[in-house]
Amino acid sequence: MPAPPAEAAAPALSDVIAALDALWPPELAESWDAVGLVCGDPAAPVSRVLFAVDPVREVVDEAVRIGADLLVTHHPLYLRGTTTVAPVGPAGFKGRVVHDLIRNGIGLLVAHTNADRADPGVSDALAAALDLRVTGPLVPDPADPAGRRGLGRICEPLVPLTLAGFVEQAARGLPRTAAGLRIAGDPDTPVRTVAVCGGSGDSLFAEVRAAGADVFLTADLRHHPASEARQSGAPVLVDAAHWATEWPWCVQAAGQLDEISDRHGWALRTHVSGAVTDPWTAQAPSTHVPSSSGAPR
Ligand SMILES: [Zn+2]
Q: Along the 297 residues of the chain, how does pLDDT read in single tens digits?
A: 554 454 457 999 999 999 999 999 999 999 999 999 999 999 999 999 999 999 999 999 999 999 999 999 999 999 988 899 999 988 899 999 999 999 999 999 999 999 999 999 999 999 999 999 999 999 999 999 999 999 999 999 999 999 999 999 999 999 999 999 999 999 999 999 999 999 999 999 999 999 999 999 999 999 999 999 999 888 999 999 999 999 999 999 999 999 999 999 999 999 999 999 999 999 998 999 998 887 666
What is the whole-number distance in angstroms between the Cα of residue 4 and the centre of ligand 1?
39
What is the whole-number distance in angstroms between the Cα of residue 276 and the centre of ligand 1?
14
Please indicate, yes or no, if residue 17 is contained in any of the structural domains: yes
What is the whole-number distance in angstroms between the Cα of residue 17 and the centre of ligand 1?
21
Residue 23: partners with Cβ closer than 8 Å, 6 or more residues away: 111, 115, 118, 253, 256
Domain shared by 134 and 236, yes or no: yes
The overall average pLDDT reported for the chain is 94
Residue 108: partners with Cβ closer than 8 Å, 6 or more residues away: 37, 38, 39, 40, 55, 70, 71, 72, 73, 77, 97, 101
Alpha carbon distance 190, 187 (integer Å): 9
Instruction: Count structural domains, the chain.
Output: 2
Alpha carbon distance 137, 147 (integer Å): 7
Please indicate, yes or no, if residue 11 is contained in any of the structural domains: yes
- Count of positions (residues) in the chain: 297
Please indicate, yes or no, if residue 289 is contained in any of the structural domains: no
Domain shared by 111 and 254, yes or no: yes
Q: Say whether the peptide bond before residue 120 is cis (omega within 30 degrees of 0).
A: yes
Give the end of a domain, one of 240, 263, 280.
Answer: 240
Domain shared by 128 and 175, yes or no: yes
What is the whole-number distance in angstroms between the Cα of residue 294 and the centre of ligand 1?
45
pLDDT digits (tens, 9 = 90+) for 115-161: 999 999 999 999 999 999 999 999 999 999 999 999 999 999 999 99
Domain shared by 163 and 104, yes or no: no
Domain shared by 23 and 108, yes or no: yes
Alpha carbon distance 244, 266 (integer Å): 30
* pLDDT for position 89: 87
What is the whole-number distance in angstroms between the Cα of residue 172 and the centre of ligand 1?
21
Domain shared by 103 and 182, yes or no: no
What is the whole-number distance in angstroms between the Cα of residue 244 and the centre of ligand 1?
9
- Burial class, 270, CB count within 10 angstroms (exposed 0-12 / middle 13-18 / buried 19+): buried
Please indicate, yes or no, if residue 284 is contained in any of the structural domains: no
Domain shared by 55 and 167, yes or no: no
Residue 135 sits in a domain whose CATH number is 3.40.1390.30
* pLDDT for position 293: 82
Helices (H), the chain: 5-8, 13-23, 57-66, 92-103, 113-117, 122-129, 163-173, 205-210, 223-231, 242-264
Question: 3-state class of 82 per DSSP?
Answer: coil
* pLDDT for position 6: 46
Domain shared by 201 and 180, yes or no: yes
Domain shared by 235 and 254, yes or no: no
What is the whole-number distance in angstroms between the Cα of residue 245 and the centre of ligand 1?
8
Antiparallel, parallel or unpaired: β 161-162 and 132-140 = unpaired
Please indicate, yes or no, if residue 45 is contained in any of the structural domains: yes
Residue-range definition of the domain harbouring residue 87: 5-115+247-272
